[in-house]
């Protein structure tokens, strides 16, 4: 199956000093240099962002700290002007209940893979949707493929993969965190999993929902924006029946964070609640082409909110589902496809959900609708955009969610 062409990506730009990585994760290989994809300047300067990847081993400890100073307008193609890493555990700078400086914006989009036109869209740098991804303070998407050029395909109908340049394209377009907890995360086995983790590390993206063991797979990423600590977790409620056990991370066992191990997921959310001002859970859930949430989705959403989640978003259905408020938290049951090789119809309906958040309070929700053409999302404007927003709002009707807090 077609892959993103690493040679064509690397050939589009020359390496700059700020694109070199310093430091490494404990036990990781020596840091590697990389060549960024030239896709034009970022539309807006983001504030400095501090990131941490947390693990649970009796108590949460940070695996690494990332300080990202983002480039100003016109300064160059890379989403990250400088990325530094340290395996050292860093203490929290202030108590979680410290006053927050200002609201932050967090953007979410749906499924990304690199098949067909979607791979071409990644090679091009996603110019059509770049502004919507780069403008918010933090952007999270679902990567529905293994990031590898090795491994062996799993025994399933579809197995998706792409080389590390696909992650670099997402990073350069403005994505900060990716979840790989989905029914394609281990499409190329444990070798593909390890390559995926290495690719995220070398690219400067934070990855959640996947790991060399259950502690890493269920661990949140912790991102600090203007003093607001945001924990992002990833988990999947969807796994092929014959691969369910094999793909679920365990003690000393590589795999995915399975939401079917609900108690474990809820425990991690509760731990994250103690560490962060805002807790986000990105889930792979629902039924394909079903525009309403399943009872098990609604049950899990209620449990996650009770455990301390402030934002719950998801994908997998390949069509948009409704969103709204649940006991003060914001839930969106389905973001649909995003960068995806779709044939059109409802599978081509997509968008970027941007939430305004201050601590536990989600004070605003804006949906920027788009349509997928040739694998890439293209923003809608005017009357088509208004119709798409109305359609998204109407899908709330079967969710049990409220329109306001």
pLDDT in tens, 178-219: 999 999 999 999 999 999 999 999 999 999 999 999 999 999
- Assigned domain for 11 exists: yes
Residue 147 located in a structural domain: yes
Nearest-CA neighbor of 279 among 210, 359, 181? 359
What letter does residue 402 receive in the DSSP assignment?
B
Whether 404 maps to a domain, the answer reads no
- As a whole number, the mean pLDDT across the chain is 81
User: For the segment 347-362, what is each residue's pLDDT rounded down to a tens digit?
Assistant: 999 999 999 999 999 9
Is residue 243 in a domain?
A: yes
Structure tokens at 313: 């978003």
Helices (H), 92-154: 117-124, 130-134
**Counts for the chain of helices (H) and strands (E), in that order:** 10, 22
Euclidean distance between CA atoms 128 and 376, whole angstroms: 8
Residue-wise pLDDT for 22-46, tens only, equals 222 223 332 222 222 222 333 333 4
Q: Would you say residue 336 lies in a domain?
A: yes
Mean per-residue pLDDT, 111-140: 97
- Average the pLDDT over 238-262 and give the result: 95
Q: Where are the alpha helices (DSSP H) in 125-178?
A: 130-134, 165-173
Is residue 55 pLDDT above 90, yes or no? no
176 found inside a domain: yes
Q: How many domains, in total, are found in the chain?
A: 1
Q: From its phi and psi, is residue 309 left (phi > 0), alpha (psi between -120 and 50) or beta?
A: beta
The answer to which of 8-17, 183-192, 376-385 has the lowest mean pLDDT is 8-17
How far apart are the C-alpha atoms of 247 and 24, rounded to whole Å? 27
* Residue-by-residue DSSP string for 274-300: HH-SEEEEEEE-S-TT-SS--HHHHHH
CB 349 within 8 A of CB 377: no
Which pLDDT does position 31 carry in this prediction?
A: 28
Whether residue 74 is predicted with pLDDT greater than 70 in this model: the reply is no
Q: How many CB atoms lie within 10 A of CB 164?
A: 23
Whole-angstrom distance, CA of residue 338 vs CA of residue 315: 10
| Residue 90, in any domain of the structure | yes
Least confident of 89-93, 136-140, 172-176, 370-374: 89-93
The CATH number for 348's domain is: 3.60.21.10
What residues does 332 pair with on adjacent strands?
A: 313, 323
Average pLDDT of span 11-32: 27
How do residues 292-345 score in pLDDT, each as one tens digit? 999 999 999 999 999 999 999 999 999 999 999 999 999 999 999 999 999 899
Give the model's confidence band at 49: pLDDT under 50 very low, under 70 low, under 90 confident, else very high: low
**Residues in contact with 98: Cβ distance below 8 Å, sequence separation at least 6, in sequence order:** 227
User: Which stretches does DSSP call E strand in 70-154?
Assistant: 82-86, 104-112, 138-143, 146-147
Q: Domain limits at 270?
A: 6-398
Q: Tell me how far CA of residue 223 lies from CA of 13, 20, 116, 405, in angstroms.
A: 29, 21, 33, 25
Is the pLDDT at 5 greater than 90? The verdict is no
Which helix (H) or strand (E) is 270 found in, with range? helix 262-275
Structure tokens at 231: 């924990």
Does any domain span residue 186?
yes
């Amino acid at each position: 199956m077609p892959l993103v062409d690493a040679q064509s990506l690397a050939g589009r730009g020359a390496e700059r000093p700020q694109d070199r990585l310093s430091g490494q994760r404990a036990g990781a290989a020596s840091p590697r240099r990389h060549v960024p994809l030239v896709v034009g300047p970022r539309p807006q300067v983001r504030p400095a962002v501090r990131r941490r990847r947390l693990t649970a081993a009796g108590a949460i400890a940070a695996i690494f700290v990332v300080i990202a100073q983002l480039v100003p307008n016109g300064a160059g193609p890379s989403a990250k002007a400088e990325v530094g890493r340290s395996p050292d555990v860093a203490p929290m700078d202030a108590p979680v209940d410290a006053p927050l400086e200002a609201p932050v914006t967090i953007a979410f989009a749906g499924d990304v893979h690199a098949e067909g036109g979607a791979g071409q869209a990644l090679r091009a740098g996603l110019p059509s949707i770049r502004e919507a991804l780069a403008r918010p303070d933090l952007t999270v998407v679902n990567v529905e493929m293994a990031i590898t050029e090795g491994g062996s395909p799993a025994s399933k109908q579809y197995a998706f993969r792409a080389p590390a340049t696909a992650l670099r394209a997402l990073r350069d377009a403005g994505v900060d965190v990716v979840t790989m907890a989905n029914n394609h995360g281990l499409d190329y086995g444990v070798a593909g999993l390890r390559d995926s983790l290495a690719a995220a590390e070398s690219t400067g993206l934070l990855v959640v929902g996947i790991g060399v063991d259950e502690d890493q797979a269920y661990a949140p990423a912790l991102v600090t924006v203007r003093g607001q600590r945001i924990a992002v977790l990833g988990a999947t409620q969807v796994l092929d029946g014959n691969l369910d056990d094999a793909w679920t991370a365990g003690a000393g066992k590589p795999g995915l964070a399975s939401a079917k191990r609900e108690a474990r997921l809820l425990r991690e959310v509760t731990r994250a609640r103690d560490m962060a001002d805002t807790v986000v859970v990105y889930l792979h859930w629902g039924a394909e082409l079903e525009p309403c949430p399943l009872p098990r989705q609604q049950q899990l959403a209620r449990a996650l909110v009770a455990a301390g989640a402030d934002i719950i978003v998801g994908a997998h259905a390949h069509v948009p589902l409704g969103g709204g408020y649940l006991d003060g938290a914001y839930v969106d049951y389905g973001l649909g496809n995003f960068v995806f090789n779709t044939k059109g119809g409802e599978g081509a309906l997509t968008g970027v959900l941007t939430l305004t958040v201050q601590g536990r309070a989600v004070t605003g929700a804006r949906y920027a609708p788009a349509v997928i053409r040739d694998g890439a999302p293209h923003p809608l404007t005017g009357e088509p955009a208004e119709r798409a927003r109305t359609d998204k709002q109407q899908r709330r009707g079967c969710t049990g969610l409220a329109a306001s807090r």
